[in-house]
Amino acid sequence: MNIESRKRLIETIAAALIDHADELTELDSAIGDGDHGHNMKRGMAAVLAELDTIAAMPSGDALKAAGKQLVFNVGGASGPLYGTFLIGLGKSLPAEPTYDELTNSFGEAVDAVKARGKAEAGQKTMLDVLVPVLEAMRKRAEADVIARVAADARDATIPMQAERGRASFLGERSIGHVDPGARSSELMIAAAAAILDDLS
């Protein structure tokens, strides 16, 4: 992947989140404190501010640098968690990863999020999208399938009761809503899958 491709990937993911910031805030207003759209927008702005520097790095280092921007610039639970995800993804990623190498690094990133958030799938968080996507990647799913899996996984958070994060304070009242972090994960993954598919 060259500098231009990395730029396009970063810009597309950032745009997907920025364009849906109001929706993410609405979802977080229902079961949280209504800042998820703002947090994601702030994180993406911090990454875009370093776009040229980050895109010039090898993919693994670029992911780690983007992750650090999120950890340092975003308040709330999601900044450090997404930062941890990107840093975990970047750690073991070779310069030109095969699909299976990308899957392995994605698995390490998911494990890092689980450890950082002391969470597992089934607790109505971003992990409820990340884990099914990892399982689909292990079956070498193509981009459109990955996007479908992520969308279905996002919907599957609706009947769940939150057991982590602010939404858990609502107990049963968290049932019946999409988890905001599940939606932002879906947006990121669908955007990334489409671009990576286009590049390959």
- With CB under 6 A as the contact rule, which of the stretches 58-66, 83-91, 104-112, 160-168 interacts with ligand ADP? 160-168
Residue 79 near Mg ion by CB under 5 A: no
What is the distance, to the nearest Å, from the Cα of residue 114 to the centroid of all Cα atoms in its chain?
Answer: 13
Nearer CB in complex with ligand ADP: 55/127: 127
Residue 77 near ligand ADP by CB under 6 A: yes
Min dist CB 50 to ligand ADP, Å, is 21
Under a CB-based contact definition with an 8 Å cutoff, are residues 46 and 70 in contact?
Answer: yes
Residue 179 near Mg ion by CB under 5 A: no
Under a CB-based contact definition with an 8 Å cutoff, are residues 147 and 190 in contact?
Answer: yes
The residue from 13, 17, 32, 189 that contacts ligand ADP (CB under 6 A) is: 32
Residue 52, both tokens: 């040229």
Residue 103 near ligand ADP by CB under 6 A: no
Nearest residue relative to ligand ADP (C-beta): 181
Taking residue 200's Cβ as centre, other Cβ atoms within 10 Å add up to 9
User: Residue 117: which of ligand ADP, Mg ion, none does it interact with, CB under 5 to 8 A by kind?
Assistant: ligand ADP
Taking residue 38's Cβ as centre, other Cβ atoms within 10 Å add up to 17
Q: Which residues of 64-98 are buried (b: 16+ CB within 10 A; e: fewer)?
A: bbbbbbbbebbebbbbbbbbbbbbbbbbebeeebe
Q: Which residues bind ligand ADP (CB under 6 A)?
A: 28, 32-33, 35-36, 39, 76-78, 81, 117, 119, 125-127, 164-166, 179-182
Q: Which residues bind Mg ion (CB under 5 A)?
A: 28, 32-33, 35-36
